């Protein structure tokens, strides 16, 4: 199988290239990027081929591509890939608008290619264990969830400049657009039902000294159709010298007990003599590797991937409601969906 990456704008591309190279019988043929400086930089850094245009990459007829562009550019790249008959794994959030997310789903359905959304937390070993606990009935009904998906200001985290993360036009927003989607997707997966109401408070209390015109702090309240409610702290609240990149935790209050999970607990903090700050050394499972493997297997087996474009759409729907709620300072009702989870 021949796979490639479209754009190195997103920092996750730097991990995905290693994930692709780690899968037997998968050839990582290179990446395309229309930013020449970025293309040359990462081609040299990872000793891989850089295609100067997306069309020249697609002319190589890869079986699938991973799209790691700026959020606002997901749609045109998905459309290019789909029209070329190439399966797609798109970074999250799937799009910066519901219209774009729906158009991406439509073009992939029309051309018969798979559209998978990059929600790697579904492949986190601790998260999978919680899912098994819920599905077994040991917790009983879930009453509520207190969750965090925090992180650092993205443009300060990466050695290569990625200021687009704080450009609302390209990113679609700030911390809320970046970090609400992971937890919202996990809760939909855990509960098997949809969000019906969203309330949000957003602010700029973190990184006030930086040139940032998007929200850096946020607290989201979700109500599901079965009555379960959840809170999500989506803030970029970690300092630049924090040992790990981000983090995702959940506390589940249930009929038969209480469960907590830390998706990034499989790490060690390393304090080296020659390092400016501590860093994390992952020793456990790699959620990204699990996600890329699922994408590969869905292509090989000609089946729908475990995480679909529709899952990405529903996360975008929640983010859209977050911003409308923050602006109006009122809860936002979402339509009930007839789609079966």
If you average pLDDT over residues 37-50, what whole number do you get? Answer: 98
Q: Which residues pair with 4 in a beta bridge?
A: 65
Instruction: Give CA–CA dist 94/68, Å, rounded.
Output: 11
In this predicted model, what pLDDT tens digit does every residue of 304-322 receive, in sequence order?
999 999 999 999 999 999 9
If you average pLDDT over residues 209-224, what whole number do you get? Answer: 92
With H, G, I as helix, E, B as strand and everything else as coil, classify residue 259: strand
For residue 215, the model assigns a pLDDT of 97
Instruction: Give CA–CA dist 243/246, Å, rounded.
Output: 9
**Using an 8 Å Cβ cutoff, are 112 and 141 in contact?**
no
Instruction: Give CA–CA dist 167/173, Å, rounded.
Output: 7
For residue 340, the model assigns a pLDDT of 55
Instruction: Give CA–CA dist 97/295, Å, rounded.
Output: 24
In this predicted model, what pLDDT tens digit does every residue of 157-181 receive, in sequence order?
777 889 999 999 999 999 999 999 9
More confident residue, 207 or 47: 47
**Using an 8 Å Cβ cutoff, are 82 and 74 in contact?**
no
Instruction: Give CA–CA dist 295/292, Å, rounded.
Output: 5
**Using an 8 Å Cβ cutoff, are 122 and 95 in contact?**
no
Q: Which residues pair with 232 in a beta bridge?
A: 147, 220
**Using an 8 Å Cβ cutoff, are 127 and 247 in contact?**
no
- Dihedrals phi, psi of 84, to nearest 5 degrees: -90, 0
- The separation between the first and the last C-alpha atoms of the chain, rounded to the nearest angstrom, is 30
Catalogue all structural domains in the chain, each as residue range(s) with its CATH number: 2-119 (3.40.50.720), 121-285+309-333 (3.30.360.10)
In this predicted model, what pLDDT tens digit does every residue of 261-320 receive, in sequence order?
998 876 666 666 666 666 666 667 899 999 999 999 999 999 999 999 999 999 999 999
């Amino acid at each position: 199988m021949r796979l490639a990456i479209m754009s190195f704008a997103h920092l996750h591309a730097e991990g995905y290239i290693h994930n692709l190279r780690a899968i037997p019988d998968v050839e990582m043929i290179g990446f395309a990027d229309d930013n020449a400086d970025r293309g040359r930089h990462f081609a040299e850094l990872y000793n891989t081929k850089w295609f100067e245009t997306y069309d020249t990459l697609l002319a190589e007829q890869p079986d699938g591509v991973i799209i790691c562009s700026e959020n606002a550019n997901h749609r045109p790249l998905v459309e290019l890939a789909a029209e070329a008959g190439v399966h797609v794994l798109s970074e999250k959030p799937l799009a910066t608008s519901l219209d774009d997310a729906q158009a991406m789903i439509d073009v992939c359905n029309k051309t018969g290619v798979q559209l998978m959304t990059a929600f790697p937390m579904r492949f986190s070993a601790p998260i999978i264990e919680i899912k098994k606990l819920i599905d077994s009935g040991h917790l009983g009904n879930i009453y509520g969830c207190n969750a965090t998906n925090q992180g650092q200001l993205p443009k300060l985290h990466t050695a290569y400049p990625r200021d687009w993360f704080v450009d609302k036009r390209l990113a679609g927003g700030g911390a809320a657009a970046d970090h609400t989607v992971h937890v919202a997707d996990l809760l939909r997966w855990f509960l098997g039902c949809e969000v019906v109401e969203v309330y949000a408070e957003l602010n700029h209390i973190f990184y006030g000294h930086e040139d940032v015109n998007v929200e850096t702090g946020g607290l989201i309240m979700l109500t599901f159709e079965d009555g379960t409610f959840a809170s999500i702290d989506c803030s970029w609240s970690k300092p630049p010298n924090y040992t790990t990149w981000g983090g995702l935790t959940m506390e589940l209050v249930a009929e038969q007990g209480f469960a907590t999970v830390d998706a990034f607990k499989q790490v060690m903090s390393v304090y080296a003599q020659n390092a400016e700050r501590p860093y994390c050394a992952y020793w456990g499972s790699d959620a990204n590797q699990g996600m890329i493997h699922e994408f590969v297997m869905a292509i090989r087996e000609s089946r729908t991937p475990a995480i679909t474009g529709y899952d990405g759409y529903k996360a975008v729907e929640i983010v859209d409601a977050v911003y409308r709620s923050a602006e109006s300072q009122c809860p936002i009702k979402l339509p009930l969906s007839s789609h079966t989870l």
